[in-house]
Amino acid sequence: MPRLVMKFGGTSVANVERIKNVAQHVKREVEAGYDVAVVVSAMSGKTNELVAWCKEAALAVSGDPVYDQAEYDTVVASGEQVTSGLLALLLNKMGIPARSWQGWQIPLYGDDAHGSARITGIDGAGILKGFAERKEVAVVAGFQGVHKETGRIVTLGRGGSDTSAVAIAAGLKADRCDIYTDVDGVYTTDPRIVAKAQRLDRVSFEEMLELASAGAKVLQVRSVEVAMVHNVRTFVRSSFDDPNNPKPGTLICGEEEIVESQVVTGIAYSKDEAQITLRNVPDKPGVAAAVFAPLADANVVVDMIVQNVSPDGKTTDITFTVPSADYARAMAVLAKEKETIGYPSIEGAQDVAKISAIGVGMRSHAGVAAKAFKALADRGINIRAITTSEIKFSVLIDQAYTELAVRTLHSLYGLDAA
């Protein structure tokens, strides 16, 4: 029989009534002849509550908010355990054989990076046995796995249920993986900003990876990476559709399945950016390593990098962006390394936004970015930094112009709905 993995996020399982709605979606696919594995997140808001309890417990003893990461994983993984049990209970009451699976029961193996583990392997034999012998729906707690050597629960980081689902689909050799969210697909941009944004029928893995990394919130970046590596055809669909008449959603697939690509597929934005500039750094071999190696050691992810050398070639200004959540930590790291790097002054800004245009069609078209730079200039929008890749370019601008920039580029590339 064909196999299908379905994943439902926190808003889709926020209460028992919504879990019942999820069960109706599952029932539809079972009756269509699929062997189904369902991956579920914790109820909306539950993980935040569990994280807060961990901090509260740590502070109650020592006044220090730092806590043991392995025990943190034990606590926060419990949210998905509750949801998986409730959905399996409902399915059984509806006459559909089902059982819940925790990450360690499958088992889904992860490394020992508690709180942000990476998947190292999956043994789906138990789930496949349930399919073959009992036509049993497997309801899997997402976001979690087990470290093989220690037997401890590990969690995969925020959004990890998406990654769980795609990895399980790959492990079970499923025909496809359906990611159910509170939107009915991937749009050309955020419909809350551009009313004319269009739902895309298909997006390539590469485009979706760039969209996700550039700020689109539909899918977690790591889940797209896993889907691309294992060629897992993945649909983004809405759990709030009528279970008996759902919309098709958006298919994320290999580029070979897309007959004709637009030059630009979508516009993404991120306001979670901060800019740091080191002024008059000595321009000599090793200076970039002196700046970025300590940040890497501190697990600060650097994105856009621009270097401007002075006319005499003796000094350079180095500008780069980091996630706004890491801004204070990055500034502290650089302050500690001031003598080693040799910069006389440092500047920072958190009122910035990154706007990105993505499309595989850029590979075969010249002047795509240049059109954007002119259009933004015509609107009075100053560009602080620019980065480009084969299928994407990004600009850093003042945050106040975010919506205007998104609308401008969306219209410029003909993405507005007719």
Same domain, 10 and 40: yes
Pair type for strands 35-40 and 3-8: parallel
> Using CA of residue 111, residue 328, residue 48, residue 14, what is the dihedral sign?
negative
In contact, 302 and 244? CB cutoff 8 Å: no
Percent of the chain with pLDDT over 90: 78
Q: What is the residue-averaged pLDDT of the chain? A: 92
Same domain, 205 and 276: no
Q: 242 pLDDT exceeds 50? A: yes
Contacts of 125 (CB under 8 A, 6+ apart): none
Q: Which of 259, 276, 304 is the last residue of a domain?
A: 259
- Greater confidence, 355 or 361? 355
Please compute the mean of the pLDDT values over residues 178-184 and round it to a whole number.
Answer: 92
Q: Which of 243, 259, 275 is the last residue of a domain?
A: 259
Residue 171 counted as domain residue? yes
| Confidence tier at 214 by pLDDT (50, 70, 90) | confident
Residue 124 counted as domain residue? yes
CA distances 247 to 35, 194, 217, 224, Å, are 21, 21, 20, 21
Same domain, 378 and 253: no
Phi, psi of 53 (to 5 degrees): -65, -40
Same domain, 306 and 407: yes
Residue-wise pLDDT for 147-172, tens only, equals 999 999 999 987 889 999 999 999 99
| Confidence tier at 309 by pLDDT (50, 70, 90) | confident
| Confidence tier at 418 by pLDDT (50, 70, 90) | very low
Residue 111, pLDDT score:
93
Q: Which of 259, 275, 308 is the last residue of a domain?
A: 259
Residue 418 counted as domain residue? no
Same domain, 197 and 243: yes
Same domain, 48 and 93: yes
Phi, psi of 357 (to 5 degrees): -115, 130
pTM confidence score:
0.86
Give how many domains the chain has, as a whole number. 2
Residue 273 counted as domain residue? yes
Q: 338 pLDDT exceeds 90? A: yes
Q: 260 pLDDT exceeds 80? A: no
Same domain, 293 and 382: yes
Q: Find the domain containing 238 and state its range.
A: 3-259
Residue 417 counted as domain residue? no
Same domain, 90 and 135: yes
Same domain, 254 and 315: no
Please compute the mean of the pLDDT values over residues 259-282 and round it to a whole number.
Answer: 90
Same domain, 205 and 272: no
Q: 112 pLDDT exceeds 80? A: yes
Q: Give the CATH number, domain containing residue 390.
A: 3.30.2130.10
Residue-wise pLDDT for 315-334, tens only, equals 899 999 999 989 999 999 99
